[in-house]
């Protein structure tokens, strides 16, 4: 028994009654300390006799968490306050004493032993308080926690969110992936698996999946349906285990798609022209009439009441050359209305076919520029909604020959890999079978198209997290910017993203782009 401090006691009055100690004969105050002096009390009394000097701590080898009885598992780094509190909690009888101090005693890290020095106080008699220090040795044993045990068995997940979009490209999923990474919405997932037409997110708890569904509703127009499957049922306690599945279907309309609205819906959302362009996908579908600059939003609930598909997507865009353009003086946000005379790039030098149209790109297009658009003249569309427009005299006369979508920037073939910025990618589980070559080429094409959208659209970049490229790639991109031309001799188009818009800390996490 180790004693760090002497006993404390009240001062003895001058006229106090004194007696002799029963052991050593020293005079003591009989009204306070009884029949023994303080030195004899220290030798005879041990206030820590009911506190064990050895205990066992259980730790999970896989996740490095400690068992806090009865069933909870806590994270406690070595020699931390959390681990010290767990050690004190394991000692029986310690709650009857007053803890003055507790600290760790250094032990070999591989010894699986933890020693703690504890100083306590206790009142042994009226007015007499004894303070003692003692050491407790803990043995570190391993036990697998339930969460890690489930990871090595079947049915590890309890909730699954299946995100789907029925479109022939992955641009929306690439945009959604960046939003998930920026906001950390995937932090509770135990697995992410890419499938043919979407992504599956697996969660260990149902509330984590519900929180992820709330995030999806806040960033994309999505329709979510839920279902559940009974896994086990205990008839004695009426305890049931379920697996929950959520089907999240994103609207099959993407940015820059050509959309034909049902006539009743077009009148309901502001009497806009049924033939529109999709300019943005957020919590709603943002549409634009390029001939009048009128805009409208289609709410998610309104869309799913009368769903419709796009008339054409970005894979059907055609390159046109601007022969003449005349601004009309009307402006709505970043859009400028203009009248343009254009010709297909494939017709240049072959025939003299030209087209006349109104466009919202009057602020960025100049004579000689290239633009991507949809050719409606002499084109057959398999759409009942478009057939209604052609049969209606009110709308048939307003269908233009061409609808321009965006300006086309010339890029060198080698400039694609010389960008001064990069994007993070999520770690996804790949299928056992390698993708076919045509599928791999399609995914690379979709990703390159998304990177080009990021370069061209400043509003799109504001919602994403862009990171500086590696030093060698950044130097090459900077050298190319100073030359003004790519290695192929083609102009860069002024699409380099300023370095002040890029983040410095880039974690190596499936770096692409």
pLDDT in tens, 308-358: 889 998 888 999 999 999 999 888 888 999 999 999 998 888 888 899 999
Q: Is 145's pLDDT higher than 60? A: yes
Of residues 496 and 154, which shows the higher confidence score?
Answer: 496
- Helices and strands of the chain, counted as H and E runs: 13, 24
Q: Is 442's pLDDT higher than 70? A: yes
SS3 39: helix
Q: How sure is the predictor about 488, in pLDDT bands with cuts at 50, 70 and 90?
A: very low
Within 13 A of 364's CA, how many CA atoms are on the CB side? 18
Are the C-beta atoms of 360 and 293 separated by less than 8 Å?
yes
pLDDT digits (tens, 9 = 90+) for 156-179: 788 999 999 888 888 888 888 889
Average pLDDT, the chain: 82
Instruction: State the average pLDDT over residues 184-188.
Output: 87
Q: How sure is the predictor about 465, in pLDDT bands with cuts at 50, 70 and 90?
A: confident
375: tokens are 């050719």
Alpha-carbon distances, residue 60 vs 65, 118, 208, 222 (angstroms): 5, 26, 23, 40
Are the C-beta atoms of 159 and 244 separated by less than 8 Å?
yes
Q: Is 191's pLDDT higher than 70? A: yes
Are the C-beta atoms of 149 and 73 separated by less than 8 Å?
no
The backbone torsions φ and ψ at residue 386, rounded to the nearest 5 degrees and listed phi first, read: -70, -35
Cα separation, 172 vs 3, whole angstroms: 71
Burial 172-188 (b: 16+ CB within 10 A, else e): bbbbbbbbbbeeebbeb
301: tokens are 């609930």
Cα separation, 359 vs 354, whole angstroms: 15
Are the C-beta atoms of 40 and 168 separated by less than 8 Å?
no
Q: How sure is the predictor about 246, in pLDDT bands with cuts at 50, 70 and 90?
A: very high
Alpha-carbon distances, residue 391 vs 239, 385, 396, 398 (angstroms): 62, 10, 7, 12
DSSP 212-252: HHHHHHHHS-EEEEEEEEEEEEETTTTEEEEEEEEEEEE-S
Number of residues that make up the chain:
513
- Closest residue by Cα to residue 434 from 443, 425, 426, 445: 443
Look at residue 167 in the predicted model and tell me its pLDDT. Answer: 86
Cα separation, 403 vs 395, whole angstroms: 15
Q: How sure is the predictor about 453, in pLDDT bands with cuts at 50, 70 and 90?
A: confident
Q: How sure is the predictor about 478, in pLDDT bands with cuts at 50, 70 and 90?
A: low
Task: Give the CA angle between residues 243, 248, 249 to the nearest 5°.
Answer: 145
**First vs last C-alpha separation in the chain:** 68
User: Backbone dihedral region of 403: left (phi > 0), alpha (psi from -120 to 50 degrees) or beta?
Assistant: beta
90: tokens are 């394991």
């Amino acid at each position: 028994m180790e004693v760090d401090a002497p006993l404390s006691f009240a001062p003895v009055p001058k006229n106090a009654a004194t007696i002799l100690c029963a052991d050593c004969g020293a005079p003591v105050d009989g009204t306070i300390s009884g029949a023994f002096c303080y030195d004899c009390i220290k030798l005879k009394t041990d206030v820590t006799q009911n506190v064990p000097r050895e205990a066992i701590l259980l730790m999970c080898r896989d996740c490095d968490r400690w068992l806090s009885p009865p069933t909870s598992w806590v994270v406690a780094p070595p020699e931390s306050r959390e681990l010290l509190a767990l050690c004190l909690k394991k000692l029986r009888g310690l709650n009857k004493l007053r803890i003055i101090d507790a600290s760790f005693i250094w032990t070999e890290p591989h010894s699986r032993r933890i020693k703690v020095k504890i100083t306590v106080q206790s009142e042994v008699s009226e007015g007499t308080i004894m303070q003692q220090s003692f050491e407790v040795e803990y043995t570190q044993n391993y036990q697998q926690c339930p969460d890690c045990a489930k990871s090595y068995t079947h049915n590890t997940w309890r909730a699954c969110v299946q995100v789907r979009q029925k479109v022939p490209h992955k641009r929306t999923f690439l945009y959604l992936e960046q939003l998930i990474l920026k906001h950390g919405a995937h932090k509770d997932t135990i697995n992410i698996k890419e499938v043919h037409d979407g992504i599956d997110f697996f969660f260990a708890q149902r509330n984590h999946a519900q929180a992820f569904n709330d995030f999806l509703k806040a960033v994309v127009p999505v329709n979510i349906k839920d279902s559940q499957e009974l896994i086990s049922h205990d008839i004695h306690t009426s305890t049931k285990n379920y697996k929950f599945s959520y089907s999240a279907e994103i609207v099959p309309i993407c940015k820059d798609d050509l959309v034909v609205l049902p006539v009743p819906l077009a009148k309901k959302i502001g009497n806009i022209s049924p033939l529109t362009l999709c300019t943005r996908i957020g919590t709603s579908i943002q549409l634009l009439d390029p001939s009048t600059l009128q805009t409208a939003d289609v709410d998610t609930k309104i869309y799913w009441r009368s769903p419709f598909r796009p008339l054409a997507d970005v894979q059907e865009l055609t390159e046109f050359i601007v022969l003449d353009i005349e601004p009309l003086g009307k402006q709505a946000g970043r859009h400028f209305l203009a009248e343009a005379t254009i010709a297909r790039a494939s017709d240049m030098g072959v025939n003299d076919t030209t087209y006349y149209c109104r466009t919202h790109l009057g602020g960025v297009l100049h004579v000689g520029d290239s633009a991507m658009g949809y050719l409606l003249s002499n084109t057959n569309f398999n759409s009942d909604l478009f057939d209604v427009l052609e049969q209606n005299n009110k709308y048939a006369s307003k269908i233009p020959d061409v609808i321009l979508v965006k300006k086309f920037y010339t890029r060198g073939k080698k400039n694609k890999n010389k960008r001064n910025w990069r994007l993070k990618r999520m770690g996804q589980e790949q299928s056992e079978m390698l993708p076919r070559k045509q599928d791999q080429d399609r995914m690379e094409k979709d990703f390159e198209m998304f990177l080009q959208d990021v370069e061209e659209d400043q509003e799109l970049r504001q919602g994403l997290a862009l990171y500086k490229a590696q030093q060698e790639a950044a130097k090459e991109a900077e050298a190319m910017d100073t030359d003004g031309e790519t290695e192929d001799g083609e102009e860069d188009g002024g699409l380099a993203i300023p370095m002040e818009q890029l983040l410095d800390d880039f974690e190596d996490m499936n770096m692409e782009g």
